[in-house]
């Protein structure tokens, strides 16, 4: 596929997403995987250039994807990536119109992600602090659950993003949207413990959380460490960063019932395309957090 005539335009599009749109590496990888699969399917039909692609070809790609076992949710993601690519091609003057624009995505069944109950979260956080990396992991777990961060937001935290006196962090979310979040006293305490030990792994990096080699910790490393701690602590379900984020949202909603406040804390612009939520000021968000989160109790 490396010599496909369809590849150069896709490579330019991915550079655009990375440089101009500044999408996260994880999002870029998802785009690349979907578009690589599309190129493979389109090449099987004999497509030599994107200018030859029409609505019938897009439907053929969708049908082939389904026959290859792709589920409705994954197919919707694939078609979304293709529509975004064609929109970019239209903007570049390479196509007169988007051939995927009229192709509807299949309705995917909605499954709520599983969350970890409060007792199991407390058990997960009560880890054996027998080495500095365990202290780091405790701090990461506390911040992830305490603020409901995305994995990319956690690994991209720098020391300068902390305001420990007020118990807040600044994060850069999707679409380069910055938000200020309360993290709770427990998370602040464990960040302070980690900062006392962080110098053991090098002090040149701006990153808050470092690997044992002194570099910014990778998303894959965080996923691996969280899963390992879940097993060590005897949790029956697999532990991953997204499940902790979902647990944050679930526990906050159960305690507060404030859907809009929780949505702002999570950094969601919309929960669906048909709903528009009003912007809430930070003081309200902080009060929602303090009143509802089981590990909040921020210092005054």
Per residue in 170-222, pLDDT tens?
887 666 677 888 888 999 999 999 999 999 998 777 999 999 999 999 999 99
Q: How is residue 179 written in tokens?
A: 């938000």
Q: What is the per-residue pLDDT for 247? A: 83
The pLDDT value recorded for residue 244 is 87
The stretches of the chain forming alpha helices (DSSP H) are 7-19, 25-44, 55-67, 72-91, 118-125, 132-147, 151-155, 185-198, 219-232, 241-256, 259-266, 282-292
- Cβ atoms within 10 Å, residue 111: 7
Q: Of these residues, 15, 242, 284, 297, which one is catalytic? A: 242
Could you tell me which residue, 6 or 272, shows the higher pLDDT?
A: 6
What is the average pLDDT across 123-129? 90
What pLDDT, on the 0 to 100 scale, is given for residue 133? 96
Cα radius of gyration (the chain): 22
Most confident of 105-109, 227-231, 289-293: 227-231
245 is annotated as an active-site residue: yes
pLDDT on residue 74 = 87
The C-alpha atoms of residue 208 and residue 159 are separated, in whole angstroms, by: 5
Burial degree of 279 (CB within 10 A; 0-12, 13-18, 19+): exposed
pLDDT, residue 279, reads: 32
Over 60: is that where the pLDDT of 289 sits? yes
pLDDT, greater one: 12 or 171: 12
**Above 70 in pLDDT, residue 284?**
no
Is 242 catalytic? The answer is yes
Tens-place pLDDT, residues 22-77:
999 999 999 999 999 999 998 888 888 999 999 888 988 888 888 888 888 888 88
Query: According to the model, what pLDDT value does residue 277 have?
Result: 25
How much is the pLDDT for 223? Answer: 96
Please indicate whether residue 179 is annotated as part of the active site: no
Give the residue from 130, 157, 151, 162 showing the smallest Cα distance to 232.
130
Q: Is 293 a catalytic residue?
A: no
Backbone angles phi, psi at 172, to 5 degrees: -105, 110
Q: What is the mean pLDDT of residues 143-152?
A: 88
Q: Catalytic residue among 225, 245, 293, 295, which? A: 245
At residue 91, does pLDDT exceed 90? yes
What is the model's pLDDT at position 282?
46
Q: Is the pLDDT of residue 108 over 60?
A: no
The closest of 258, 297, 296, 256 to 278, measured between CA atoms, is: 258
Q: Which domains, and CATH codes, for the chain?
A: 7-91 (1.10.150), 118-292 (1.10.443.10)
At residue 104, the pLDDT reads: 75
Catalytic residue at 15?
A: no
């Amino acid at each position: 596929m490396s010599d496909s005539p369809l590849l150069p335009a896709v490579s330019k599009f991915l550079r655009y997403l990375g440089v101009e749109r500044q999408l996260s590496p994880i999002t870029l990888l998802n785009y690349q995987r979907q578009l690589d699969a599309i190129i493979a399917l389109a090449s099987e039909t004999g497509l030599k250039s994107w200018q030859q692609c029409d609505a019938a070809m897009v439907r053929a790609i969708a049908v082939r994807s389904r026959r290859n076992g792709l589920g409705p949710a994954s197919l919707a993601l694939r078609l979304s990536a293709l529509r975004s690519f064609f929109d970019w091609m239209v903007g570049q003057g390479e196509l007169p119109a988007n051939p995927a624009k009229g192709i509807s995505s299949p309705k995917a069944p909605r499954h709520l992600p599983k969350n970890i109950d409060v007792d199991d979260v407390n058990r997960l956080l009560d880890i054996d602090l027998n080495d500095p990396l365990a202290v780091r992991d405790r701090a990461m777990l506390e911040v992830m659950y305490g603020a409901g961060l995305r994995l990319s937001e956690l690994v991209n935290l720098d020391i300068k993003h902390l305001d420990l006196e007020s118990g807040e962090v600044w994060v850069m979310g999707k679409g380069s949207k910055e938000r200020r979040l309360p993290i709770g006293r427990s998370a602040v305490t464990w960040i302070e413990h980690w900062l006392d030990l962080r110098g053991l792994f090098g002090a040149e990096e701006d990153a808050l959380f470092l690997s044992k080699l002194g570099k910014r910790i990778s998303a894959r490393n965080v996923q691996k460490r969280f899963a390992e701690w879940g097993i060590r602590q005897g949790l029956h379900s697999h532990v991953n960063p997204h499940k902790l984020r979902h647990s944050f949202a679930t526990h906050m909603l159960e305690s507060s019932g404030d859907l809009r406040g929780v949505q702002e804390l999570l950094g969601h612009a919309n929960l669906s395309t048909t709903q528009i939520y009003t912007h809430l000021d930070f003081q309200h968000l902080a009060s929602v957090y303090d009143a509802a989160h089981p590990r909040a109790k921020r210092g005054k």
